[in-house]
A and B are shown apart, each in its own frame.
Chain A
Amino acid sequence: MISPVAIRLEGVSKRFDHGVKGEVYAVRGVSLIVRPGELLTLLGPSGCGKTTTLRMIAGFQEPDAGRVWIGNQDVTRLMANQRNIGFVFQSYALFPHLTVFENVAYGLRVQRQADAEIAHSVDAVLDLVGLAGYDRQMPHQLSGGEQQRVALARAIVVRPRVLLFDEPLSNLDARLRVQMRGEIQRLQKALGITAVYVTHDQEEAMAISDRIAVMQQGVIVQEGSAEALYHRPASEFVAQFIGRTNLLRGRVTAAAGTGVEVEVHGQRLHAAGAASRPAVGAAVTLVLRPESIAISAGGRGLSGTVVSRTFLGEKVEYQVRVGGETLQVTDYGAGGSRVLAPGEAVTLEVPSTGVWILGGRA
């Protein structure tokens, strides 16, 4: 096994000619380090520049500005065929005129390896992805999941320095997606290879990644582990893009230890954490995750009225009117609590660790 290498982007930008808007930036000044052996996900909505960033790492596109490093080598001006990468395409991009065996062998034939060596490597990798015995099939005879495995085998058999995935699971059905993402993660760890993974699916990103970089309009807005992004988002965009969330407007009334006191709809809440330390008196946004709110018919906290409820078996989802706003609350019913009816008056209790403050920087 070769020791894994880092990938480094330094101020990488890419412009495109847009028919209507003229020159637009697809990627603007992106800097990023992917640590050796790590699986980093570029996550964002469509058009945020994540695929373009990945394609610049691969060498399918050349940046207009900035540099790309793989290991200690500046690969900015190298073509894709000189970079020693493994790329898995959204459309699989299998060679339709070649058998499974020849598809996987393609990269080895490019390297002019001996036939016996090629046969050995291809058999081993087909075995690894669970496709032993498929070598004589043509791509169009395979199911979507099998095609995806061939694409994966073809990418890893050449022992690339880095593995790049461009939304590899988006053409599969939901159950297969969950299964394949587990296999991709297992393979990546077993091979100990540095990987960059592009997706717009936040659940997939959280399941598979060591770290996630969230992109919005061509820039990286936040990088970190799934937990960090979920519990400590840097912006409203990240808070809303990852998981479900409630955003409330409030005003800082006092500093309290590491946290702050906030007034929301005439009631006080204590928040333990903030993206940046807010000034007293500043207007701020509170991020409340639906499952961190405790709902009950009586008690202390924000008072509101149930608007609607959805019973989903293991949990109940409520829409609760508080002041002029509607909050989403998820109750997992741990205490065997009663299902509340629409129109009922309720109180919402929020522990200080469940409140995250955005804005109002001192």
Chain B
Amino acid sequence: MTAAVRRPGRDPALWATVFVLWVLLGLFVLFPLARLSWLAFFDGGRLSLEHVWSILGDPNHRRAFANSLLLAALVGAGGTALGFLFAYTAARAGLGRSWLTALDAATLLPLVSPPFTTAIAMIFSFGPRGLITYHLLGIKGATAYGLHSTLFAETLTYFPIAYLTLRPILAAIDPNVEDMAFSLGSSRLRVFRTVTLPLAVPGFANAFLLLFAASLADFATPLILAGNSFPVLPTQAYLQITGLFDFKGGAVLSFALLVPAATVYFLQRYWVGRGAYVTVTGKAGPATMIKSVAPWARWLLLAACAAVAVVIAYFYALLFYASVVMAFGANHALTWRHYHVIFTEGLKAIHDTLIIAGVGMPLGGLFGVLVGYLVARRRFPGRRAMEMVSMINYALPGTIVGIAYLIAFNDPPLALTGTALIIVACYVFRYSPTGIRATVALLQQIDPSIEEASQGLGARSGMTFRRVTLPLIVPAFFAGLGVVFIRSMTAISATIFLVSINWTLITVRILENMTELSLGPAAAFSVLVVAIVFAVMAGISWALRRLETGGGLRVTSILGG
């Protein structure tokens, strides 16, 4: 009996909120998508697939489609393997606290960085004047472009998603189950093969699909690293619009991207996303000495993890180094001039980005908490639909969202192109779903009768929300807030279509610098973004820790997706 869900009844506040949210969702989620489909599939008011065929018939585009799928599959496989290595080491190698913290730090860095920092570091390292290729190995005219480097950079960027997915699943496997297999005479390898791996299978599928989707949607890495020989869909769509001003072509290409993206999303969400074997039956065993890893294997695992961590650390060190030398690869004299450049010429981008992130953050946090609360706790017509619609922009590759916004808000009365509003709206509706999920998850841990107790004592629904529910879901609010801010600082795939002379972003400037080969300022900008993001993350986790002392409710990972 879903006794907790109250009917709207005579609750005008609920109706007003639901109405406003639907107007916003309609305007910033459904309308752009409708405009995009209209442009792609209709010609002069009639359904016409002629253009679609001509775009898809282009062998270059077909190659981009195949390349995208190939790259995504390889990143999915490689990232899942790397994520499993880290997760298994964390869960089974019997590490101390400081080791675990080091593992977490190594995986956190790529997660919160602008998406192309690894790509930039790859150029610094393996490019024509790269530290390794040119200076160390003396190779002249080395090329850092193509499938291999894109795959390497994306795997390193996205494997933490697999780590975060697999670690709780491995941790939830009761060690007694493995002990049992030992006691029946299995060897360690056999236990791993016949017990541990099969129990982790749902996690593998989940991690693979999440990575597949991330790679499919990635725009910045291939733009920098893929080069002309390895076109992929997001970059093709971008070039179709910014290079050829062919909006229709861009719309069709983004739909080509939508098909695999939507397939993977639904597979992940409704098929494997659910499943994890419940291995805890009855009382979970006491923490036994975990014997599932032999001493030599333990060292091997640690060495492998350390190697990956060193590569990550090396890339970020390189990025910092490139930001403080005159000209990386040619003149290694120390200088602050790049920082001087970004704080003078680049100041507008910093200024704009901070304003947009600062405005989007509270709006996105509030939106996430409101939608999450309504979806989890109130009953009104269209509740499920609201939950699904609010997830759309999050699930779609950024390129699609960007092109859809560009097309939808180009004409009066909704001519928002060139304003800050369009960028803020894009971020709010694209990144608040993390807050929605966190709110729903938190509310599921809170007994609904706590809110009924408030109602029984005479409080109206607005007051109950303000005085009881809101304080209890503040952790989710902060988590949502943090994600919106971080993504506003680091995202590029959607908003590269939305920047203008009036409003620009740091990430877009980094990309421009890269194409102009002013690597120093690009590195300085990247370092600045990483620094700001870390400062904000530290502030938020401090606030969360303060909040968690009383209630015992927690938001597990604020960066789960």
Contacts and interface: CB of A to CB of B under 8 A. Distances in A.
Contact of B447 (A91, A140, A158): A91
Interface string A58-102: 111110000000000000000111101111011101111100000
Interface stretch (B332-340, B396-404, B455-463, B476-484): B455-463
Interface stretch (A106-114, A191-199, A220-228, A273-281): A106-114
Interface in A22-73: 26, 52, 55, 58-62
Contact of A80 (B456, B463, B468): B456
Interface in B4-55: 6-7, 9-11
A79 B453 contact: no
B3 A61 contact: yes
Given A60-B452, A80-B452, A140-B552, A158 B472 contact: no
A156 to B, nearest CB: 11
B369 to A, nearest CB: 15
A94 B551 CA distance: 11
A92 to B, nearest CB: 8
A212 to B, nearest CB: 23
B413 interface: no
A158 B550 contact: no
B449 interface: yes
A251 interface: no
Q: Determine which residue in B9, B455, B456 has the highest number of CB atoms from chain A within 10 A of its CB, and name it.
A: B456
A266 B308 CA distance: 90
Given A16-B1, A60-B452, A81 B551 contact: no
A97 B458 contact: no
A93 B457 CA distance: 12
B471 interface: yes
A61 to B, nearest CB: 6
Interface residues of B, number: 28
B3 A55 contact: yes
Interface string B462-500: 010001100110000000000000000000000000000
Contact of A97 (B7, B447, B456, B551): B551
A158 B552 CA distance: 29
B419 interface: no
Contacts of B450: 93-96
A55 B448 CA distance: 13
A110 B458 contact: yes
B176 interface: no
Contacts of A95: 450, 453-454, 468
A154 interface: yes
Contacts of A97: 471-472, 550-551
Contact of B453 (A52, A59, A93, A111): A93
Interface residues on A, range: 35 or more
Contacts of B9: 62, 79
B472 A81 contact: no
A129 interface: no
A79 B456 contact: no
Contacts, number: 85
A86 B456 contact: yes
A84 B458 contact: yes
Nearest to B467: A106
Given A55-B3, A97-B551, A140-B552, A89 B455 contact: no
A136 to B, nearest CB: 13
Given A52-B1, A89-B449, A95-B453, A62 B7 contact: yes
A254 interface: no
Given A110-B457, A158-B457, A96 B552 contact: yes
B452 A93 contact: yes
A81 B459 contact: yes
A58 B454 CA distance: 12
A42 B171 CA distance: 45
A119 interface: no
Given A62-B7, A97-B551, A138-B550, A87 B458 contact: no
A97 B467 CA distance: 10
A60 B463 CA distance: 16
A93 B459 contact: no
B456 A87 contact: yes
A89 B456 CA distance: 11
B550 A26 contact: no
B447 A106 contact: no
Contacts of B460: 81
Contact of B458 (A52, A81, A89): A81
Contacts of B452: 58, 60, 80, 87, 89, 93
Nearest to B547: A97
Contact of A106 (B10, B11, B449, B457): B457
Contacts of A26: 1
B551 A96 contact: yes
A140 B550 contact: yes
Contact of A110 (B11, B459, B471): B459
Q: Determine which residue in B11, B457, B550 has the highest number of CB atoms from chain A within 10 A of its CB, and name it.
A: B457
A155 B551 CA distance: 22
Given A55-B3, A81-B460, A93 B551 contact: no
A187 to B, nearest CB: 18
B449 A107 contact: no
A111 B550 contact: no
A60 B3 CA distance: 8
Contacts of A16: 1
Nearest to B552: A140
A154 B454 CA distance: 10
Nearest to B6: A60
A156 B463 CA distance: 20
Nearest to A91: B447
A96 B472 contact: yes
Contacts of B552: 96, 140
A197 to B, nearest CB: 16
A59 B459 CA distance: 13
Contact of B457 (A52, A61, A91, A107): A107
Contacts of B471: 97
B458 A111 contact: yes
A79 B459 CA distance: 10
B384 to A, nearest CB: 15
A224 B234 CA distance: 75
A16 to B, nearest CB: 5
A106 B459 CA distance: 9
A288 B292 CA distance: 63
B457 to A, nearest CB: 3
Q: Determine which residue in A60, A86, A97, A138 has the highest number of CB atoms from chain B within 10 A of its CB, and name it.
A: A97
Interface string A101-137: 0000011001100000000000000000000000000
Contacts of A154: 453, 457
A79 B551 contact: no
Interface in B402-460: 447, 449-450, 452-460
B470 to A, nearest CB: 10
Contacts of B7: 62
B447 A110 contact: no
A113 to B, nearest CB: 11
A-B pairs with lowest CB-CB distance, top 6: A107-B457, A93-B449, A87-B456, A93-B453, A89-B449, A96-B551
Given A106-B457, A140-B551, 18 more contacts: A58-B456, A79-B11, A80-B456, A81-B458, A82-B458, A85-B456, A86-B456, A87-B452, A89-B453, A93-B450, A96-B472, A97-B550, A106-B454, A107-B457, A140-B552, A151-B453, A154-B453, A154-B457
Interface of A: 16, 26, 52, 55, 58-62, 79-82, 84-87, 89-91, 93-97, 106-107, 110-111, 138, 140, 151, 154-155, 158
Interface of B: 1, 3, 6-7, 9-11, 447, 449-450, 452-460, 463, 467-468, 471-472, 550-553
22 contacts: A16-B1, A60-B455, A62-B7, A79-B11, A80-B452, A81-B455, A81-B459, A87-B456, A89-B449, A91-B447, A94-B453, A95-B453, A95-B454, A96-B450, A96-B550, A97-B472, A97-B551, A106-B459, A107-B457, A111-B458, A138-B550, A140-B552
